[in-house]
Amino acid sequence: AQKITQTQPGMFVQEKEAVTLDCTYDTSDPSYGLFWYKQPSSGEMIFLIYQGSYDQQNATEGRYSLNFQKARKSANLVISASQLGDSAMYFCAMSAMDSNYQLIWGAGTKLIIKP
Amino acid sequence: DAGVTQSPTHLIKTRGQQVTLRCSPISGHKSVSWYQQVLGQGPQFIFQYYEKEERGRGNFPDRFSARQFPNYSSELNVNALLLGDSALYLCASSRDQMFHQPQHFGDGTRLSIL
């Protein structure tokens, strides 16, 4: 069975510091995608970044990068130079053929940026 | 281009009633998925439709049903509402049904059952 684990229920980070949000996954499917989403308190789910299981390089999107370690089955999100607007829930999710491409979600990490 | 649109944004119902939630995907997207998110938890998969056919169903009772129309919009129906159905219902669309396609979400419908 596929599973996503986020072990950090909450994090406090000083503004302008970098932050790493942890995500480990479990799947026996060789083809899968890993996604990070941001959910502010207003509720909308915002797609941040994607990493494919066959991608050789770590994905980057602006201030977001994904530290993908396939052998360790981890896909940590790194946010550089954090801003107050980064305060939100962050979810790691996975899609694979085994699960009919439905997104399997972690429990999320609540990130609070301190001024 | 318009994003995923969901209606209504908020809904209040009483136990035993029925509700219909609507979703319009991003133009060109053929796959629509529905998720239920209870406060403080990650989303739970309910249904996925691709090319108007059901392609996946989560662990939800038969009170939950859905369909996708020829224009790729979708409806989620919930019958015999229970207090536990109170949640944020999220609709997501993607271009097709592949693991590398990100799903883009609407703002959700917040359903409250009294």
List pLDDT tens digits, range A48-72: 999 999 998 999 999 999 999 999 9
Higher pLDDT, B2 or A47: A47
Give the model's confidence band at B1: pLDDT under 50 very low, under 70 low, under 90 confident, else very high. Answer: low
Q: What is the pLDDT of residue A58?
A: 95
SS (H, E, C) chain B: CCCCEEECCEEEECCCCCEEEEEECCCCCCEEEEEEECCCCCCEEEEEEECCEEEEECCCCCCEEEEECCCCCEEEEECCCCHHHCEEEEEEEECCCCCCCCCEECCCEEEEEC
Give the model's confidence band at B32: pLDDT under 50 very low, under 70 low, under 90 confident, else very high. Answer: very high
Is pLDDT above 70 for B15? yes
Q: What is the pLDDT of residue B67?
A: 96
B90 chain-A contacts, CB cut-off 8 A:
45
**Which parts of chain A register pLDDT below 50?**
none
Is pLDDT above 80 for B98? no
Contact A102 B92 (CB under 8 A): no
Is pLDDT above 90 for B92? yes
Q: What is the pLDDT of residue A113?
A: 97
Min Cα distance B83 → chain A (Å) is 20
